[in-house]
Chain A
Amino acid sequence: MTNGFQIVVCGSLVPDPLQTLEPVTTPQGPGLKNETMLPSVLDPWSAHALFEAAHLAKQVAGSKVWLVSLGPKAKLQQLMMTVAQKVPFELVALDGSASGFTDAHGVAAALADAIGAIPGLDKSRLLVFGGCASASRDASVTMQLVGERLGICDQFVGVDEIHVQADGAFSVLERIEGGEYLASTCAGAPAVLAWATGNLPEPPNNPQIGMGNMRGVMPALQKAKPAAVGVGGIAYAKTEIPAQKRQTRIVKDASTDEIAREIVEWIRQ
């Protein structure tokens, strides 16, 4: 691996999961109550992908990370005040809806076009990262569709780990049923990796990284191209949030042994 990877991470904003998320019907289709005002975070699945991308770029000399984000650009700008402080990247912004109800095909088309238009992109070095799902609505198909549009056949979904070898080949662990992993080996880029949680903690905010990123973030936001994504041809018969099911007890000062015993009993049931 002489020139490093070009790692493009697809990721955008979702409403802060702690907020009250109440589905409503809008003239544009389904949405969330007070959606524009809801504070946003980087979609947690994409966030894992971004942190893994930065980690990989650090390990493989000559690598670079882009973050391709589709969302209302004013909201993206706000999001960048936090995300830009995490890891170094170059932003490619697309101005459009980040709603969880948009059609994944339309979103994938916009993302693939934006990736294809990145100047100097070398497909032989390209790794496309993203989340295997989204916290806003779990269609779980966007990354695969992006890969198809870019003509990338090597796709891995639910990735928790990547190990790169000296020649650029890499092995990947993908989550499968029953807490097991599927281990695969890939000859090298290009590939699509839709990440699960990965293994890395969220990096602390680093203002120096933030200031470095912001030099590119603001111009990227200013020249963000509009992306006409929406509900598309999907007809939503009904939208609702999953019913809460809580079986929580608050117990203070329980010993580790007691907690362990209770968990074992529960598993045995």
Chain B
Amino acid sequence: MTMKDVSQTITMLPGDEIRQIMWRYADRFDMQMAVMGARSVARGLIARLVADGERNTHDWTDAKNRMYQAFDESGITAAGLDMAYGGIIDGPRNLALSLISYELAWVDGGAATTSLVNNLALGPIVEKGTPEQREKYMRACMPPAPGEDRKIWRGSFALTEPLPYVGVDTGVVSGRVSVAEWEEGKEPILQVEKRGRFITNMAVANFITAAVDTEDPRIKTSCMVILEESDEGVFDRGTPTHKLVHQLSNTADPIFSLKIPASRIVGGYTIKEGVIIPNLTHSEIIEAVFSRTRVGVGVMSAAKLLSAVEPLIRYQRGRFRGAAGIEAGSPRYDLGLQMKEDALHRLADVWATGEAAASLGFEISRVYDQLTLIEKEAHQIFEAQGVTGGRALMKALRKPQSDAIEMLRLMAQPEGARDEARIAELKADTLVQFVWLSAVGNVLCPACKLWDTGYGANMLREAVSLMGGYGITEDCPGFLFQKWTDAQLEATYEGPEVVQRRQISLTMNNEVFLAQIELWVAELRLLGAAKPETGATALAEGFELWRWMLAFIGDAKDANGRPLSQSQRHGVLFPMADAISWLLAVRSFIADVQELAARGPEHPVIGPEIAGYINTLTDLGHMQVARAAGEVGRIGAELVYGYAAPAEQAGEAGSAFQKLRAKMEGSLAGSRLAKDRVGKALSQVMIPEALDYPL
């Protein structure tokens, strides 16, 4: 193994050119402009609002309300709309919206949430609405052109409801819809009763997309309906939620008791034998639309971690300046706390977590962009084949699933020895692509939401602690205290951690996903052999250990004879979900660094400096691999030994586990030296004179 003791390191923290390559939007000028638009709002108006103490109240003030106009003017609102309705992003928008979330959350997570809520409200209409509904509401949400005198509409999405004692269950909807009037030959008028809880945008919403169930025999199923503020009845915006976080979003518990025409059922309806049959149930819409919106929340936490690095460096270096006896030019003056290894190593941990979290978030965003294109084609194929309903769909997916597994296993074979023609054939199959991307997305998405926000919140606490007493004051540069506490909400809304773990515990068993892991392991082994400094071999061993653990719990029983793999055995399955999330995050990061290594050298601006970036980011990835491997080993040890009887050592399984764990941990050689180098780079990297937003 060749490991250079002295190598070029980063000269400055990664800028736009580096990020555009890593996160794969270097050739998307529409996205680059959207990023710049969002950045100007975030580091201008939003930072000013936070600095002026607007977060000190949960009330929705005039000053906070100015954000909407800024979002409209800068293209943030339009980024969620189709091009035909004034949109600015051509094609799927998952990556673009994640990038906008990233920019806004760099300064404030609540503001980022405010920017996303309109898309959440429009989501059911855009994806599943009738042509008339799409036309009406997308046009209403278009920002007015300069000189145009039109009030823009804003929406809210009301799924969550107050249920007694147990909080909420999104599978159980207590909102009700019934037939209020139905004159012969006319459109039915519906009565909607809905109470919402923690509903964002309620201070300004002109329309609500609400989930409702029914007990009326004249309505067949649950559905989603569109409510408007001018509808007949009660449109009570409700009491503002007394949030201690995200005060730059407005949240309330509204009450609706409204009469609406049946044409407001999202996706339309048919009438059969005197019964209104909604074309889509509320859960069908939610499944189709909201499985993806969580990603932006994970990206928010990632942005906050990365935004903490520069203020921390500045604080650490300037810590002793101005003190008696600290002369300019002395090490204590120049480096301050960065003279100490601990300060540098802990900062490196914050940075590495932010990088891995961002890479994971943007990878799943790209997967969803691909999937958005593929799934429409896939659904057309199913429709042409007459495939309807869950069981028929599962049957229709069997062949593409087995083809996807074949493709992934072929791809895992060495180049030159594999059947390229067959791979190309399978790759060209829409349904193979569909099951492949779906399987990957179904794990990466909850993993992003779980790991980025959950572990991200822990590391934001670490970032605050690195500021010392300054960290808990309102003068702390970078608003780190607010970012830390906001992360707790990010870990909760759009599905708390338990929901994400539950989803992963199911989707991680998908054979297509497991074949994808085989492919990743093969790729990481190749990378590890060629570039041992990446830590890719240790990561491959981590994935292998995780796969072994999955197989182990599939067969094993505890000392009381109870199977470990029971679906409600959260003590087993949820740690497995945590473990795979650790591995996935750092794998995404390593993949991004490799993309930079491949495309960076030819870039005219960063080319001459690229070695330093690749070296430091590679080291950062390597130290994060060690951290992830440590978690997988710890979780594995608890599961393998923890359920055995006290006198036993888990028998053969214990030996097999020890062997694999030892192999993984033995591959960590150099990871701590990598951390030393990152620390050194952090003590030398040039940072701006001042933050580019107000304090």
Measured CB to CB, the residues of A under 8 A from B are 16, 18-20, 22, 33-34, 36-39, 72-75, 78, 81-82, 84-85, 204-208, 210-211, 214, 218
Q: Does B300 interact with chain A (Cβ within 8 Å)? A: no
Interface string of B34-64 (1 = CB under 8 A from A): 1111001000000000000000000000000
Q: A20-B689, A36-B609 are in contact. Are A214 and B29 (CB under 8 A)?
A: yes
Chain A minimum-CB-distance residue to B692:
A18
For the complex, give the distance between the alpha carbons of A22 and B604 in Å: 22
- Residues 670-695 of B, flagged 1 when their CB comes within 8 A of A and 0 if not, give 00000000000000001111111000
Contact for A205 among B73, B145, B608, CB less than 8 A:
B73
B342 within 8 A of A: no
Output the least CB separation between B370 and chain A (Å).
24
Q: Contact at B605–A37, with CB atoms within 8 Å?
A: yes
Decide yes or no: A34 and B16 within 8 Å by CB, A81-B32, A204-B70, A211-B30 being known contacts: no
- B38 to A, closest residue via Cβ: A205
Given contacts A16-B692, A33-B686, A211-B30, contact A82 B605 (CB under 8 A): no
Indicate if B11 sits at the interface (CB-CB under 8 A): yes
Q: Do A75 and B686 have beta carbons less than 8 Å apart? A: no
A218 to B608, CA, bound (A): 24
Q: Are A205 and B689 in contact (CB under 8 A)?
A: no
Q: Is B17 an interface residue (CB 8 A)?
A: yes
Contact between A78 and B16, CB atoms less than 8 A apart: yes
A-B pairs with beta carbons under 8 Å apart, 10 shown: A19-B689, A34-B11, A73-B604, A78-B605, A82-B36, A85-B37, A206-B75, A207-B37, A207-B75, A214-B29
Structural contact, A85 and B688, CB atoms closer than 8 A: no
B78 is an interface residue with CB less than 8 A from chain A: yes
Contact check, B606 vs A85: say whether CB atoms are below 8 A apart: no
Task: For the complex of A and B, list the 4 residue pairs with the smallest distance between their C-beta atoms, beginning with the closest.
Answer: A207-B75, A74-B604, A205-B37, A81-B32
Contact of B603 among A74, A84, A214 (CB under 8 A): A74
CA distance A266 to B16 in the complex (A): 43
Known contacts being A33-B686, A37-B605, is A214 close to B12, with CB within 8 Å? no
Chain A residue numbers with a CB within 8 Å of B209 are none
Q: Is the CB of B687 within 8 A of A205?
A: no
From residue A227, how far is it (CB to closest CB) to chain B in Å? 15
In the complex, what's the smallest C-beta–C-beta distance from A36 to chain B, in angstroms?
Answer: 6
Q: Is the CB of A74 within 8 A of B605?
A: yes
Instruction: Return B583 CB to nearest CB of chain A, in Å.
Output: 32
Bound CA span A152–B9, Å: 50
- Cβ–Cβ < 8 Å partners of A36 in chain B: 605-606, 608-609
Partner of A85, one of B11, B36, B145: B36
**Complex-state Cα separation, A214 to B30, whole angstroms:** 9
- CB-CB under 8 A from B15, the residues of chain A are 37, 39
Determine the distance from Cα of A142 to Cα of B109 in the docked complex, in whole angstroms.
Answer: 45
Nearest-CB residue, chain B, relative to A84:
B33
Partner among B30, B146, B609, B688 whose Cβ is within 8 Å of the Cβ of A20 = B688
Task: Kindly list 12 other residue pairs between chains A and B, CB separation below 8 angstroms, not including A20-B687, A74-B603, A205-B36.
Answer: A19-B688, A36-B605, A39-B16, A72-B604, A74-B605, A85-B37, A205-B33, A206-B75, A207-B37, A208-B145, A214-B29, A214-B33
- From B16, B74, B688, A18 is in contact (CB under 8 Å) with B688
Residues of A within 8 A of B687 (CB): 20
**Distance of A65 from chain B, by nearest CB (Å):** 17
Tell me the number of A-to-B contacts counted with CB atoms below 8 Å.
93
Question: Which bucket holds chain B's interface residue count?
Answer: 35 or more
Q: Which residue of B lies closest to A244 (CB)?
A: B689
Distance (Å) between the CB of A81 and the closest chain B CB? Answer: 4
Known contacts A36-B609, A39-B16, A211-B88; decide if A205 and B688 are in contact (CB<8 Å).
no
Tell me, rounded to whole Å, the shortest Cβ–Cβ distance linking A17 to chain B: 8
Chain A nearest CB, measured from B86 CB (Å): 8
Cβ-closest chain A residue relative to B78: A207
Cβ of A33: which chain B residues have Cβ within 8 Å of it? 686
CB within 8 Å for A81 and B603 given contacts A37-B15, A39-B15, A206-B73: no
B33 cross-chain contacts in A, Cβ below 8 A: 81-82, 84-85, 205, 207, 210-211, 214
Interface of B with A (CB < 8 Å)? 11-12, 15-17, 29-30, 32-37, 40, 70, 73-75, 78, 86, 88, 145-146, 603-606, 608-609, 686-692
B335 to chain A, nearest CB (A): 15
Question: In the docked arrangement, what's the CA distance between A206 and B691, Å?
Answer: 25
Instruction: For B605, give the chain A residue with the smallest CB separation.
Output: A74
A207-B89 Cα distance, complex, nearest whole Å: 10
CB distance from A112 to the nearest CB of B (A): 26
Task: Report A-chain residues with C-beta under 8 Å of the C-beta of B608.
Answer: 36
**What residues on A are CB-neighbors of B78 within 8 Å?**
207
Chain B residues with CB under 8 Å of A211's CB are 30, 33, 88
Report the minimum CB–CB distance from A224 to chain B (whole Å). Answer: 12
B248 shortest CB reach to chain A, Å: 19
In whole Å, how far is B34's beta carbon from the nearest beta carbon of chain A? Answer: 7
Indicate whether A34 sits within 8 Å of B689 (C-beta atoms), given known contacts A81-B35, A207-B75: no
A186 to B604, CA, bound (A): 44
Query: Given the known A-B contacts A81-B32, A81-B35, A211-B30, are A34 and B40 also in contact in the complex, defined by CB atoms under 8 Å?
Result: no
Which residues on the B side are within 8 Å of A22 (C-beta)?
686
Q: Which residue of B lies closest to A22 (CB)?
A: B686
Closest to B604 in A: A74
How far is B17's CA from A34's CA once the two chains are assembled, in angstroms?
A: 14
Chain A residue nearest in CB terms to B70: A204
A204 touches B40 (CB 8 A): yes
Cα of A8 to Cα of B608 in the assembled complex, Å:
34
Contact status A37-B609, CB under 8 Å: yes
Q: Are the C-beta atoms of B12 and A34 separated by less than 8 Å?
A: yes
Pairwise interchain contact B686-A34, C-beta atoms closer than 8 A = yes
How many angstroms between the C-alpha atoms of A22 and B687 in the bound complex? Answer: 11
The residue in chain A whose Cβ has the minimal distance to the Cβ of B89 is A207
Contacts of B11 in A (CB 8 A): 34, 37
Residue pair B74, A16 in contact (C-beta under 8 Å):
no
The answer to whether B40 touches A82 (Cβ under 8 A) is yes
Task: Collect the chain A residues with CB atoms within 8 Å of residue B690's CB.
Answer: 18
- State the Cβ distance, A130 to closest chain B Cβ, in Å: 23
Q: How far is the CB of A75 from chain B (nearest CB, A)?
A: 6
Instruction: Return the contact of A204 from the options B30, B34, B73, B606 (Cβ within 8 A).
Output: B73
**In the docked arrangement, what's the CA distance between A216 and B70, Å?**
26
When the two chains form their complex, are residues B12 and A16 in contact, meaning their CB atoms are under 8 A apart?
no
How far apart are the CA atoms of A18 and B691 in the complex, in Å?
Answer: 7
List A contacts of B605 (CB < 8 A).
Answer: 36-37, 72, 74-75, 78
Decide if B88 touches A207 in the complex (CB within 8 Å).
yes
Q: How far is the CB of A30 from chain B (nearest CB, A)?
A: 18
Which chain A residue shows the least CB distance to B16?
A78
Q: Smallest CB-CB separation from B40: which chain A residue?
A: A205
Cα–Cα, bound, A73→B604 (Å): 9
CB-CB under 8 A from B606, the residues of chain A are 36-37
Which residues of chain A come closer than 8 Å to B146, judged between CB atoms? 206
Residues of B within 8 A of A78 (CB): 16-17, 32, 605
Using Cβ atoms and an 8 Å threshold, which residues of chain A touch B74?
A: 204-207
Residues of B with C-beta under 8 A to A72: 604-605
A residues in contact with B691, CB < 8 Å: 18
* A210 partner residues in chain B, CB cutoff 8 A: 33, 37, 75, 88
Tell me which residues across on chain B come within 8 A of A85, comparing CB atoms.
33, 36-37, 75
| C-alpha spacing A35/B423, complex, angstroms | 46
Residue of A nearest to B17 (CB): A78
B-chain residues with CB within 8 Å of residue A84 when the two chains form the complex: 33
Tell me the nearest residue of chain B to A21, going by C-beta: B689
Question: How many Å from the CB of A71 to the closest CB on chain B?
Answer: 11
**Contact yes or no, B12 A205, CB < 8 A:** no
B556 to chain A, nearest CB (A): 53
Instruction: Name B79's closest neighbour in chain A (CB-CB).
Output: A207
Q: How far is the CB of B36 from chain A (nearest CB, A)?
A: 4
A207→B40 contact, CB < 8 A: no
With both chains docked as a complex, state the minimum distance between the C-beta of B605 and any C-beta of chain A, in angstroms. Answer: 5
Judge whether A37 and B692 touch: CB under 8 Å: no
CB distance from B615 to the nearest CB of A (A): 15
